[in-house]
A and B are shown apart, each in its own frame.
Chain A
Amino acid sequence: MEDFELLRHITIGQYLPGDSLIHRLDPRTKISIFLFITIAVTFSVSYTGNIILVLATMFLVLLSRIPMSYVFSGIKPAIPLIIVLAVLQLLLYGDGFVPYGMQSKTYFQWGIIHITNGSLQLVIVSAMRFVELLFLTSLLTNTTTLADITHGMENMLRPFSRFGVPSHELSLVATIALRFVPLLAEQLEIIMKAQASRGADIAHKGKLQFITTARQVAALIVPLFIDAFRRAEDLILAMQARCYVGSQGRSSLVRLKFARIDYTVYGLSLAFSVAMLALRNHFPF
């Protein structure tokens, strides 16, 4: 059986409207929380540190009132891969890996397979860090419209424009890309259906679906690229007709303003991340 609509099922990054505290925060605050806590997660290798981080990020997701089931639904297709990687880590990584806060102890050894307390810790901590990042991503993308995310990023990059960072252009590029991704996905679906209608073997669900030949990929990519270029040509004309000349002299409908809650949340998350970084080697286990 074929599945042509797989592209429609991408739910990661989908904005869910709501009125929670998190929804009402300035996008810059949310981007900053994401960055600060991600850095803390990156350097956190202990059980304790990660338990704290899982609880903290879970708390934030609960605050945003995004259903947990929705957050986890996005990773369903990746679960087989995750399990395979975890098993490989458990079996093969133990040799020579020094676990945090304890002496290395081998539970089982056979040939290249070394199951140690270290590899076990690695698997568990990796799983926890994965969940933390999932929560953080969901926190940002499910509560903030793409438009707000790009406005937030443009605003945050603006001070760097004196160093040559084209913040407006980057933001426009991001906006246009986000705007056209669903359109190109639709187009790809039709291209696949058109080729299947003439006898091509496409989009098969089930065994070995990801093995496609370069020829098959080319047959899909070429028309898609041509479509993308045609759209780009049209868009250029439309933008010119609407007097686009670059960032010089542009005004903006959207003006981001920090509220008191933003300062509070911003400060708290910064403090939290700094604390987690500072204490990362001082946790008991």
Chain B
Amino acid sequence: MSTTLPEPIIKIEGLHFHYNPESEHPIHALKGIDLEVYPGDYLVIVGHNGSGKSTLAKNLNVLLRPTQGDVQVKGLNTRDPAHTLTIRSSVGMVFQIPDNQIVATIVEQDVAFGPENLGVPEDELKERVEWALGVVDMLEHRNRPPHQLSAGQKQRVAIAGVMAMKPEVLVLDEATAMLDPEGRRAVLTAVRQLNQEGVTVIAITHFMHEAAEGNRVLVMEAGKIVMEGTPRQVFSHVEELRALQLDVPQTTDIAYRLNQRDATFPPDLLLVNEVADEIQRRTNGRGDA
């Protein structure tokens, strides 16, 4: 049986972006990006501040338009203003600072903001708000004012507000950077759940261990994609990542260093359990049963 790839939901060809293109010193932030994102992908983009990750994200939902090249969402070109609203309701985006995304003074009313803008009729509005709050596990807080919530809870409300538009793609622009470990865990759980339900996720982060969540990792540097692959593939290139001054998850770092001392030790491990399994395998019989 032949396996043909499904149509990409986002297709980027030769994308260049310049900030202040007309000025004396335009900033060439994206230098020729080619990318295809498929439905159901969980794509993680890592890179330094200034690598262009955020600029790339904003080109996905027409917050920015290419200075050269094309971005297509569901076959619609972002350059065409007639498609802007359709694209924005298909590619939802959550930003870094939870407070600066919340408009209303009551949680459920904020979640309704997106679909209200789309003119969704009243009873469907109520359904969507309930569903979205349920997915991020914030239903019990529906009537509370946002300033009483923790940062992690606010970020989940922001995700609900975006999901209430029923987008096919969810983009998270460093959405966990300002959260404590608990908040991060809760957000990642919600996102994982959404991805399992079929939502395409594009997560931009500088936390390496979050990159392990995805099925694909992109490494960006100075406006270009410099590495691409599964998390395992990408992280096993420890030296290259070091040269880019990027971290690898500690687990991969451990495996790599052990591999340097003993070439039979696999260098491309990702999860805590994998490292423990490998060590156990090698000490079998010597440890207590």
Question: Which of B85, B88, B113, B147 counts the most chain A CB atoms within 10 A?
Answer: B113
For the A-B complex, the count of residue pairs with Cβ-Cβ distances under 8 Å equals 97
Task: Kindly specify which of B66-74, B115-123, B250-258 makes contact with the partner chain.
Answer: B115-123
Contact present for A251 and B125 (CB under 8 Å)? yes
- Per the bound structure, the CA–CA distance linking A182 and B148 in Å amounts to 11
Would you give the 0/1 interface string for B171-208, flagging 1 where the beta carbon is closer than 8 Å to chain A? 00000000000000000000000000000000000000
- Per the bound structure, the CA–CA distance linking A98 and B12 in Å amounts to 81
Contact present for A253 and B117 (CB under 8 Å)? no
- Per the bound structure, the CA–CA distance linking A146 and B115 in Å amounts to 22
Ordered by A's residue number, 20 sampled pairs between the chains whose C-beta atoms are within 8 Å are: A145-B105, A145-B106, A147-B106, A178-B105, A179-B103, A179-B105, A230-B100, A231-B97, A234-B100, A238-B100, A240-B88, A241-B63, A250-B117, A251-B119, A251-B122, A252-B125, A253-B109, A253-B125, A253-B126, A254-B109
- Per the bound structure, the CA–CA distance linking A176 and B92 in Å amounts to 21
Contact present for B101 and A234 (CB under 8 Å)? yes
Interface on B for A, CB 8 Å cutoff?
A: 58, 61, 63, 85, 88-89, 92-93, 95, 97, 99-106, 108-109, 112-122, 125-126, 129, 145-147, 158, 161-162, 165
Contact present for B106 and A243 (CB under 8 Å)? no
- Per the bound structure, the CA–CA distance linking A56 and B120 in Å amounts to 44
A255/B122 contact (C-beta < 8 A), A179-B146, A250-B117 known: yes
Set A183, A231, A240, A242: member contacting B113, Cβ < 8 A: A242
- Per the bound structure, the CA–CA distance linking A147 and B106 in Å amounts to 7
Number of residues of chain A lying within 8 A (CB) of chain B: 31
6 tightest CB-CB pairs across the interface, nearest first?
A234-B100, A253-B112, A242-B114, A238-B101, A243-B117, A249-B119
- Per the bound structure, the CA–CA distance linking A230 and B129 in Å amounts to 28
- Per the bound structure, the CA–CA distance linking A193 and B145 in Å amounts to 26
**Residue numbers in B under 8 Å from A245 (CB-CB):** 85, 117
> In chain A, what residue has the closest Cβ to B103?
A176
**Residue numbers in B under 8 Å from A251 (CB-CB):** 115-116, 119-122, 125
- Per the bound structure, the CA–CA distance linking A240 and B119 in Å amounts to 15
